[in-house]
Chains A and B, each alone.
Chain A
Amino acid sequence: MATVTSVEALAPGDHACLTFSDPDERLDIVAAFVRDGLSRSTKVMCLTESIPPDRLSAELVERGVPAAEALPVNQLSIFGSAESWLADGEPNAAKMIDLLGRHLDDANREGYTGLRVTADMSWVTRPIAAADQLPIFEAEVGKLLGDGRLTAICQYDREIFDAVTQAFAAAVHPHAVAAVVYYEDPVLRICRQHSPPGVRLAGEIDYSHVEELTLALNEALRLDHDIQVNLAKLRFMDAAAAAAITHAALSLPTGRVMSIVCGGVVLRMLRLVGATDLGAVRVVRAHGD
């Protein structure tokens, strides 16, 4: 059974599954995985399916990953399924393993310390896909990982995989990566954001969950020099929650930055409590605002 690991803690030779239901959480973890790979001089390969390659590179850039620099020099490569799983018309695990093997050899030859691969596994659910290729692929990847130069994250979307396949994925991967969730109920979710590092909130927050918010902010400030408080998906925030963010920003010594992604009524409340006037705070307008 997989042990839950933070994406930052993955080491060469690790094989992890990322089972997600929140698309932001998936992109956040993929971005952190790519970012850490690039900064550790490994080659990075993204096999994408539900997100087109162009959009994935834009999403990575938005999350602070230097994709625009890494793509032209082939340290980072992004393949859609037409160039990978479906290059021959139908998925073939053996050919995919060959592709990975070639990239691993390339990485070696070009002087990189290894190869990081992250693969969106939703190709399995395509009408033409042969589901029998999935266990072959996962088993063969396991062998490639043996010599400690490859690190892999396989992405499984909870919305499209059945329970049996999810259980298989959990069993075959020694590690599972997931965002740290500080709080979750039907109207509010507070979790760690990995790239850029910080905290992400979704839903509606008021005074009754200030304690969990404060905990999340304090941990983010302990882990990283500058943090992002991502409130893009937050629909409502009351004065008490805004005051908790203000309090955290006030505790920052000169030189450290809290950027806050927000818009609409959330930005309005932050202005009303004075958070936006603080020297440490940078407001980043959320999309669609």
Chain B
Amino acid sequence: MGTHRPADSRVPAEIFVHEALYYRDLDEFYAGTGAFVRAGLDADEPILVAVPEPRLALLRSELSGAGERVRFVDMAVAGRNPNRILPWVLRAFAAEHWHRRVRIIGEPIYVGRTPDEVASGVQHEALINVAFAGVDAAILCPYDVERLAHVDTRADLTHPVIVAGGERRESSSYTDPYAVVASLNQPLPEPGRVDETLVFDAQGLAGVRRLVGKHADGVGLAAEGVADLQLAVTEICTNAVTHTGSAAATLRVWSDGDRVVCEIRGAGEIADVMAGRAVPSLDSPRGRGLLIANRLCDLVQTFTAPTGTVTRLHMRLSPT
């Protein structure tokens, strides 16, 4: 399946398969994911299942016969920040089994995601096509189409193949992933209230850390979350004042519901759409800032333009 060259030239003709599974109920979820996993078991391929609860537990018991051969990961934890899924979940699994074809079920957009998380999830789905181009892998992404009916998932734009009602078809609206990402690169809405503003330069990073620590601590973020936010903010602030040759950048901090948000505004445009989702080689001296922020924060939003880049780092007060 899926290894033939598609008629539509926009669909990558690859050993890589990226399918959306549209399910309307648990039976369709079981049928679609079960068939996908069984094909992997038959071919003796390493299998990763990354879906949120309760489907994770349901699928685990459904597939209990497979034993150790299937790895289960709670997507709501490992993929809480959708930007984190590609480098730290999918690519990490593929890298672990670099000599084998891997098979992955990933459900990044599920009921309960906030609109900003969904937008981040759509970018993630588009960039899977870039990151896995030429990789020997099959990825199936379940979508709860009934309950996500009013959510802008754009799954038929980001998946070359759609599986629905037991039928497999090529997606006629599959779109160049770079175009999908570009369409979501939009100015971020202004917050209602900003608690702290600080203009800083390369000498001011320790001051940035102190300000972020004080605010996050003051609004009740747990100590480990405070430390993680300080690490992440430092990395993004470093990028803002070093990559661009610009002298100064601006930090703003506020609270939004149960989240602490730190925004870094600096000169320079991010040219590489994979920034923060690609893991540099171990001996690379730099290029990890956004990647680390993605790993540590609950959501990372970016708006980048020739006039500058805005990055927002969100940390939830109550861990999921």
**A residues touching B (Cβ–Cβ < 8 Å)?**
187, 204, 206-208, 210, 236, 238-240, 243-244, 246-247, 250, 264-265, 268-269, 272-274, 278
Residue of A nearest to B286 (CB): A240
Residue contact A210 to B206, C-beta cutoff 8 Å: no
Residues of A within 8 A of B292 (CB): 239, 269, 272-273
We find that the number of chain B residues with CB closer than 8 angstroms to chain A is 22
Interface pair B283/A246, CB less than 8 Å apart:
yes
Q: Is B238 an interface residue (CB 8 A)?
A: yes
- Contact across chains for B289 and A264 when beta carbons are under 8 A apart: no
Contact with A along B223-246 (1 / 0, CB 8 A): 000011011001100100010000
Question: Can you list 9 residue pairs at the A/B interface with Cβ under 8 Å?
Answer: A238-B234, A238-B238, A243-B285, A247-B285, A250-B282, A265-B227, A272-B295, A273-B282, A274-B282
Q: Is the CB of B101 closer than 8 A to any CB of chain A?
A: no
Can you list, as one digit per residue, whether each of B259-303 has a CB less than 8 Å from chain A (1) or not (0)? 000000000000000000000001111101100100110000000
Residue from A204, A246, A264, A274 within 8 A of B206 (CB atoms): A204
Q: How far is the CA of A272 from the CA of B293 in the complex (A)?
A: 10
Q: Are B285 and A244 in contact (CB under 8 A)?
A: yes
A236 CB, min distance to chain B CBs, angstroms: 7
Q: Is the interface of B mostly helix, strand, loop or mixed?
A: helix
The residue of chain B having its C-beta at the shortest distance from the C-beta of A240 within the complex is B286
- Other A-B pairs, 4, CB within 8 Å; known A243-B286, A246-B282, A273-B292: A207-B242, A239-B289, A268-B227, A272-B296
Which residue of chain B is the closest to A246 with respect to CB atoms? B282
Shortest B213–chain A CB gap in Å is: 10
| B89, CB-defined interface residue at 8 Å | no
Interchain nearest-CB distance for B13 vs A (Å): 34
CB distance from B12 to the nearest CB of A (A): 30
Interface residues of B (CB under 8 A from A): 202, 205-206, 209, 227-228, 230-231, 234-235, 238, 242, 282-286, 288-289, 292, 295-296
Chain A contacts for B295, CB-based, 8 A? 272
Residue of B nearest to A214 (CB): B285
Known contacts A238-B238, A268-B227, A272-B292: A250-B286 contact under CB 8 Å: no
* Contact A206:B283 (CB < 8 A) given known A268-B231, A272-B295, A273-B288: no
Give the dominant DSSP class at A's interface: helix
Q: State in angstroms the CA–CA spacing of A244 and B282 once bound together.
A: 10
Q: Which residues of A contact B209 (CB under 8 A)?
A: 236
A240 touches B285 (CB 8 A): yes
Q: Which residues of A contact B227 (CB under 8 A)?
A: 264-265, 268
A18 to B142, CA, bound (A): 68
Q: In the bound complex, do residue A240 and residue B238 qualify as a contact, i.e. CB atoms below 8 Å apart?
A: yes
Complex Cα distance, B205 from A283, in Å, reads: 27
Point out the residues of chain B lying under 8 angstroms from A240, CB to CB. 238, 285-286
**A38 to B: closest C-beta gap in Å:** 39
**CB atoms of A250 and B234 under 8 A apart:** no
Shortest distance from the beta carbon of B234 to any chain A beta carbon, whole Å: 6
Interface pair B282/A206, CB less than 8 Å apart: no
Q: Are B231's CB and A250's CB within 8 A?
A: no
Q: Report Cα–Cα, A240/B238, bound state, in Å.
A: 10
User: What's the nearest-Cβ distance from chain A to residue B109, in Å?
Assistant: 26
Once A247-B283, A250-B283 are accepted as A-B contacts, the answer to whether A208 and B202 lie under 8 Å apart by CB is yes
- Chain A residues closer than 8 Å to B288, beta-carbon distance: 239, 243, 272-273
Nearest residue, chain B, Cβ from A251: B283
The contact of B231 among A187, A244, A246, A269, by CB within 8 Å, is A269
Q: Whole-angstrom distance from the CB of B294 to the nearest CB of chain A? A: 11
Nearest Cβ in chain A — how far from B96, in angstroms? 12
Nearest Cβ in chain A — how far from B263, in angstroms?
19
By beta carbon, the residue of chain A nearest B203 is A208
Q: Determine the distance from Cα of A265 to Cα of B212 in the docked complex, in whole angstroms.
A: 15
Cα A103 to Cα B295 with chains together (Å): 61
Given known A-B contacts A204-B206, A265-B227, A268-B227, A238 and B235 have beta carbons under 8 A apart: yes
Contacts of A272 in B (CB 8 A): 231, 288, 292, 295-296
Chain B residue with Cβ nearest A269: B231
Min Cβ gap A205→B in Å is 11
